[in-house]
Structure 1
Amino acid sequence: MSSNFHKPAPNVPYWTPVQDPPVGTALDPASAPTLFKPIKIRGVELQNRFVVAPMCQYSADDGHVTDWHFAHLSQFIIHGTPLTIIEATSVTPNGRISPDDVGLWKDSQIAGLKRIADFAHSQGQKLGIQLAHAGRKGSTLAPWLAPEGSVGALASPEEGGWGDNVWAPSAIKYTDGFPDPKAMTAEDIKTLVQAFKDAARRAVEAGIDVIEIHGAHGYLITEFLSPLSNKRTDDYGGSFENRTRLLFEIIEAVRSVIPDTMPLFVRISATEWMEWSGEPSWDLEQSIRLAKLLPAAGVDLLDVSSGGNNENAKINVHPYYQIDLAGKIREAIKKDNLNLLIGAVGLITNAEMARSIVQEGKSLTQGATAHDSAEVAEEAGQTTQADIVLVARQYLREPEFPLRVAHELGVEVKWPIQYSRAQWRKGQKI
């Protein structure tokens, strides 16, 4: 199909009108806050600083995405988010959290992802994927199927589970409702690294723009990083160098099969919130140490989350509890003049919060804390805690979150041309 009235979007296998510039672009970038200024990461440019964080949907068919995933992700793509990251995508069948997770361990899983990537590109937006292995938290049921009050529920073989083939660095169970894992052999580790490499190659074939390696939330890479879950005595356990070895082998393998122009992200839990236990655990100090090694390994952005590796974690939850961690890592990175971007995630629900996290400016005055930044900005300058904001649950409530934030901040941005008649009036309360 063609039209004499619209320019077609280039390089997509069907006709759709081009969004020029892409939705979410500030119409006057010079006067826009940092949140609506573009950022270039290797060969990928994002027109603003919003990213859809990976969100598990537990709705895949033998690892293949379905129309649910297309509809779920497309609503963010059309509403001005420059980068939407597909949920945790397992690199092996036993690396899924549940039998209903997305996977990329075989070629037949490429086509569904390519359909979503083609749509994102038709709108001038980018698509990412989070490659993952669930480790000892695998072979569980979708959360809505677990008994009320329980952390998880083991999927039986009849329900598609693989409780007899769950991998972990050491044979230490996560908690009740989870399987008894097997300590990985050296051969298992080689198989895993190759699986990440093969999945990355398939992601490139699917047209994915950005790859994120999932090293957070108590899944397999986290389990290797933490001395609480990693009791190995070989080259993958004990010292910091050994506990981080698997992550760096995966980074090297992925980087070897993706274009130089493709950004590579890593997500970590900056702390497992177990400092109180009196035992060695993964903490912010080690995260900073790790972060300083990532640029040389070919990582472009560190996505900072926390927790997930121990049910006894003591977390002081407040709106900035994870963003403060990101800010401390970013400060350490900048102090050493290292080229690593930082992403902040968690409880980002409103315009001023999103703006303040990435706003470039001066440091805060003495006595001000990071989460006072919005209030003290006018008097003391603005601390910058991250370079992008990754948003999850707020997108489920408001798929148009970037457009809404722009309106609330008084920033004029490009809307989808098909929706242009629905734009809020300047100054209109919404």
Structure 2
Amino acid sequence: MNFRRGAAVLAAVAVIGSAAPAAADSSPSPSPSAKLPAALFGDGDPQYDGVWRQSLALLALDTAGVEPAASAVEWLTGQQCADGSFGPYRADTSKACDAKTMVDTNQTAAAVQALTALGGHDAVTTKAVDWLKSVQNKDGGWGYTAGGASDTNSTSVVIGALAAAGEKPAEVRKDGKSPYDALLKLALPCDAEEGPGAFAFQPDKKGTLVPNADATAAGVLGALGAGLVVEPGKGGGAADGGCEKADTPEQAAANGAAHLTEALAEDGHLVSSLPGAEDQPDHGNTADAVVALSAQGATAPAKKSLAWLEKNAADWAAQSGPGAYAQLILAAHATGADPRAFGGTDLVAKLGATGPEASEGTGSGRSGADEKADDKDEKKDESESGFGIWWFVGVCLVAGIGVGFLVSGRNKRKQS
């Protein structure tokens, strides 16, 4: 983790600590030279994204038909606290979680989705789902931390976890409100001057909803009751219609998908909203949009953007590590593309090389010293750019230091 990102997280925790029972863990962050668990994907500092990137890696390998190493799965299950929640990284799991252990809804929901997909972990996922239900907000949604204000991204990833675990999200209510009620309040109306039909991450300080591309991608998935894994050809409709009043989650998803389609129309990719980077392509957010559009059934714009990623995402993924490879695999899976032949890159092999060797015969995992050496250079920048899709931005925005969900950690080099 680079200094500025670390400082941002600490500042955010200071702001949200009074509103949430979980505060930052006082234990020191692993230094770059600290030896990380062999079962962990990636060699960047896991203090803020370990469970997230592990969950995405396991999900992506599962979609590719690869059985992950048992040690990788055991590492993830071992990160759970007694109350069912997950934090980003617990270096010493022999010590029980306490009030200083940093836990959040995003890591917990991602772990639920991964472990449910792999199967055989009902006890772990049931406890995690129970914890998520226990920290639902009165508006029906979830914030990044327990007690934090609801946001589109956290609410959506929790909806995905609930659905994966066999729950009916519409029936998970607090004070009569469901997660879909929370999402509808975060969708911009059709008469909005900017971004009609898009989703905001949260209202800004003035209570205004500001359109946000990757929050929109998340909102589309959440409104459809979909998780991080989208099966190709399962979408319910195209996204070429105009914006219509969103009285239902389905209409909100259609409006959001139409907004993404328009945003992607010219170049096939989204751009970063970081100051001074207006023309900088945002590969990670574009991959998220591909998944969202595929979930909606907007296959043409999804495939157009996937083609752009195939041509342009190799360097970004190599620098960003397992989370980025996983995002691209999930985007390929959502569109029915082959992640083993992605613009000349075998994404499955690349992802496998960042973690423990998978089960024999699966064709993934580290294959030897030479492959480890080849990947070392690719992974060295991971701590600067390979952060989780939604976790970090939730912290930043709560702290008032972000500019929208596009500050998602996949372009962290721009902050250096």
What TM-score, normalized by structure 2, do the two folds share?
A: 0.35
Which protein is bigger by CA-based radius of gyration? 1
Identify, as 1 or 2, the structure richer in strand: 1
Higher helix share: 2
* Higher RCO structure (Cα 8 Å, ≥6 apart): 2
